[in-house]
Structure 1
Amino acid sequence: MSRDRRYQNVDDFQKAARKRLPKIFADYIEGGAFSETTLRRNRAGFDAYALRQRVLCNLEPEVDLSARYLGRRQALPFFPGPVGFLGLYRRYGDLKVGLAAKAAGVPFALSTFSIKGIASLAPQLGENLAFQLYLDRDPTVNESYLEACRIAGVETIFLTVDTAITSVRERDNRNGFRALQKISPGLAWQFAKRPRWSLDLLRNGMPGVELVEGRPEFGRGALAQASALSARLDKDLTWEKVRWLRDLWPGRLVIKGVSDRRDAELARASGVDGIVLSNHGGRQLDQGLASISLVAEMRAALGPERDLFVDSGFRRGSDIVKALALGADAVMLGRPFAWAVAAEGDWGCARLFELLAQEIAITLQLMGLNSLAELRAAPVDSLLSPMG
């Protein structure tokens, strides 16, 4: 069977990635907080909305999927959101996802917890590179991150604000992720059972997080650095620090991890350029609400002039269409690109862009629409019907 036929949707990449990855990394990508109820609700939330089909419409041969966000016209209404340790799932995974995003004409948000760093990726990704910032408890470390962004010409920072309190991810606890400082016998056995992954990644030893390489306080190697980075997250995040960063950073600043309309109103007042409506993929607050269920009220709270992004639970082009119809400017995808790069590298990332763009285009045409602009101009009740 050809690869094109084998991979028809995000779930196909997930299955292939789990077969290739050691359990510690597969569980890290897939897992959620405590009972994983929010994780499940993120998917179930899309079923609360049904799309309306139209027929006998004047349809163009090509659907315009371009959307304006982050200050420019982008080719697609979705892009890879930040995922930690992409370079552990496949060698140079951060770069592979970033180059696929550049080829697709959309941004790539690089995680603080990335293997390849800003300095390595900026020359190849240019204006497509954005940076997702976790604030460290040491202000000098944060200033070094910002300086790296300035030197590299990064235009947009996504400040993640929903991890000041570290939740419990039971899968990670069982596997020892972020607790192991080096490869244990049990982890070595996991690696041995995944020879393709091991040969791909470990030819030159366990890689490190480039952004903190050479800093002894973070340790050596990705396992130790993952533990140190997590332990060093700023636990005293407040709106005052958002305003401090707004004053310090001259580029675009987007707050990631907002999921209450009151916080969206405060974000608007703080002068940021946008927010990411997110429950961290169900990895923080258990028993929370699905992100898709909050899009309309967050748009109302944020106002029309700032970018509204949304993530958590998106797997299909129709999911993305629903978010856009409810008022989002674009969707950020995390796990799908982690699975795609882990399963099939460069080809997998390109294939994922192709599949999702095709799903969006077909969905719009079946709704009688030729472009995202027409979708945005239509009344919501002409596009969606609440279920139940």
Structure 2
Amino acid sequence: MDLLEKCRAYVQADEARDAGRYPYYPAFQGPADGGKAILEGVEVCMLGSNNYRALNVSPQVIGAVQDAIALYGTSATGSRLLSGNLDLHEELEADLADFFGYEAALVFATGYMTNLGVVSALVGRGDVVYLDDKAHASLIDGSQLATASGAVVRWFGHNNPDDLARQLAATPTQSVLVATDGVSTVEGELAPVAELVAVCEEYGATLLVDDAHGVGVLGRGRGVIEQAGMQGRVPLMTLSFSTSLASQGGAVLADAKTIDFLRHTSRPQIYSAGLSPADTAAAHAALREIRRRAGSEPDALAAAEHLRRALDALGYDVGGSSSPVIPVRFPDQIAMLSAQSILIDHGVYTNAVLPPACEGYQLRIACTDAHTPYALEGVIGVFASLREDLLPRYRQAA
């Protein structure tokens, strides 16, 4: 059989396009500025971005990028191990470690590669990795890669420390990594970090918290570990620069010996070019701005809480997250895709999320510091005008 026959037989995307309900790869024109974006020449309220602190258009961030390009050019031009390591990388790593309270940090070229590189390097023959059953794809893929080295992958219930404890009690002598998201990417729920720490400490497991969607927003900008009061008790923390840090890339934070081990053994680190000067400078400038604002609560949290309460009052199923992320749940794919299309027609952009990325069918809303009360009232008005079309579907499904 021709290897590429599976590609020619793939029709799901074409079926969605033919039905006018294909929601992916929208081509935006220009940056998302002021909570707005341009889609097919029309301005929309951007509620699908992870730009929680709205720093991608900050003068400080843009200025740092311009200075870095002028001094270093556009590329690191090689792997960090050999020729692509810049003082910019090491300065960012030092400030990340200082801000988040770890001995050391290691910057990767993307957030996805961070988890891929950390898990696959640390876990091997004789080791077990326990994943939250809604863990991000990067943690899953890193764990699957580790199975090639003889690791075993197991799962525990989403945000369920009791289930984790039950499983760890059955295998007390094994070397174990426990990995979870600090904030669920789609549902916006916060991990029970304090409870997970207690379980891991009791059974001698090593906890990794991927706080891509908590950093910059929660815990005075330091994320869910700080918010839970668990500073110094989570051995491994990873994060992505493509959310609040308004850039590209990612990092892992740990003790100095662990970071040195990863610098020399993590294949995604060793065999990738170093993060570009522009991306490194952008992340560092955004980190400095988040540190400067650490004494005040992000507007993104207040915006999300206001919008969540309003949508709940209108009868939408929005869950109960404590982050800038709001899920709006629908009973089926047609209802969700129809709603997304109608919202776009009314100037509101949200993300359509399908299984296996989440349970069921959800529109994912993400608020940022740029979403003013005035802008949100317009969004609430749109959801109110759609209420009679959408709510009967909820009630019928219930």
Asked which structure has the greater RCO (Cα within 8 Å, sep 6+), the reply is: 1
When you count helix as a share of all residues, which structure comes out higher?
1
Tell me if TM exceeds 0.5.
Answer: no
Q: When the two structures are superposed, what TM-score results if normalisation uses the length of structure 2?
A: 0.33
Structure 1 or 2, whichever has the larger Rg, is 2
